[in-house]
Structure 1
Amino acid sequence: MQLFSTFETTELLEMAISTIEKQGIPKESIFAVPLDNRKEGRKIFDTLHLSDGTSLIDIGMGLATALSVIGASIGFKLSWGPIYWGLIGAFVGFMIGFAIRLFIELVVKKNKRVFKGKISEIILIVECEESQAGLIEDILWSHLALGVAKVK
């Protein structure tokens, strides 16, 4: 039986491995694979098939609505009329909101988008007898494994 588990790179992983070895599992039956970090940064603009859940137009739409109402109200007194000034207000509001959101994503949240500083996880594979699987699983969970799976 094989047990797969994921760990963060900490001393708890090494403690789990040594505890498993003390239970009679040989070193040849324990395999640890570190995952590589992502090299390139995340993209700001989403594609049709991939979205990170961050919207760049949410502030722009709110400001477009607010400034179009203000522009239409003031437009009754201006020469072009309320419709043109409402559209101008909507366009200006959208562009201001989009610029604010783009600034927030590029400057303020820059560190969230970069994966280089994050510690990669490690996949630990333990080959054992079916009778030892419950004990090994308890050891992995007690040493703060992020996830554990069993395969017969």
Structure 2
Amino acid sequence: MQIISTFEHSSYLELAITALEKEGVKKDSILAVPLINRVEERRLFDTLHRADGISLFDKGAAIATAFSVIGASVGFILEWGPIYWGLIGAATGFILGFIIDYIIFKVVHKRNRVVKGKKSEVVLVLECQKELAEKVEKVLWEYLALGVAKIE
């Protein structure tokens, strides 16, 4: 039976491995693999095949709509007419909304990404007999595993 778990890289991982060896899991049956966490920034623009759920288009489109209506209304009084002023309002609104979204994404969300919860840094793979599985799982949870899975 294989048991897979994830840990933060800390002294609890070392203590868990020692406790597992005391429970009867052989040293050759333990594999600890450190993960390399993402360090590159997320991409700003999505592609057709990859999207991360962040859109810089939404606020721009909404503000562009509002500004184009205002521009077209005021354009009846102004020299160039409602069509040109509606287009100018739409372009201005879209650029303003895009800049607002960009600032929110770069400043506010950057802080949130840094502070977010615990990260899996090490994957621990164990090979043991079925009789030891419950004890091994209990030891892993006791030493603060982030997640545990069993494969029979």
TM-score normalized by structure 1? 0.83
In structure 1, C-alpha distance between the alignment counterparts of 2:69 and 2:10, rounded to whole Å: 56
Match of 2:53 in 1: 53
Unaligned stretches of 5+ in structure 1? none
Question: Within the alignment, does 1:28 sit opposite 2:28 as a pair?
Answer: yes
Match of 1:71 in 2: 71
Match of 1:14 in 2: 14
AA in 2 matched with 1:131: E
Q: Which runs of structure 2 are paired with 1:117-128 in the superposition (5 Å)?
A: 121-128=121-128
Distance 1:34 1:27, change over 3 A: same
CA contact (8 A) 2:6 2:120 kept: no
What secondary structure, in the 3-state scheme, does the structure 2 residue paired with 1:132 have? helix
Unaligned stretches of 5+ in structure 2? none
What secondary structure, in the 3-state scheme, does the structure 2 residue paired with 1:28 have? helix
In structure 2, C-alpha distance between the alignment counterparts of 1:112 and 1:43, rounded to whole Å: 16
In structure 1, C-alpha distance between the alignment counterparts of 2:47 and 2:97, rounded to whole Å: 21
Q: Percent identity?
A: 58
Distance 1:53 1:8, change over 3 A: same
In structure 1, C-alpha distance between the alignment counterparts of 2:125 and 2:5, rounded to whole Å: 7
Shift of 1:142: 2.6
Match of 1:151 in 2: 151
CA contact (8 A) 2:12 2:143 kept: yes
Shift of 1:108: 5.0
Shift of 1:112: 6.3
TM-score normalized by structure 2? 0.83
Shift of 1:4: 0.8
In structure 1, C-alpha distance between the alignment counterparts of 2:141 and 2:47, rounded to whole Å: 38
In structure 2, C-alpha distance between the alignment counterparts of 1:10 and 1:150, rounded to whole Å: 23
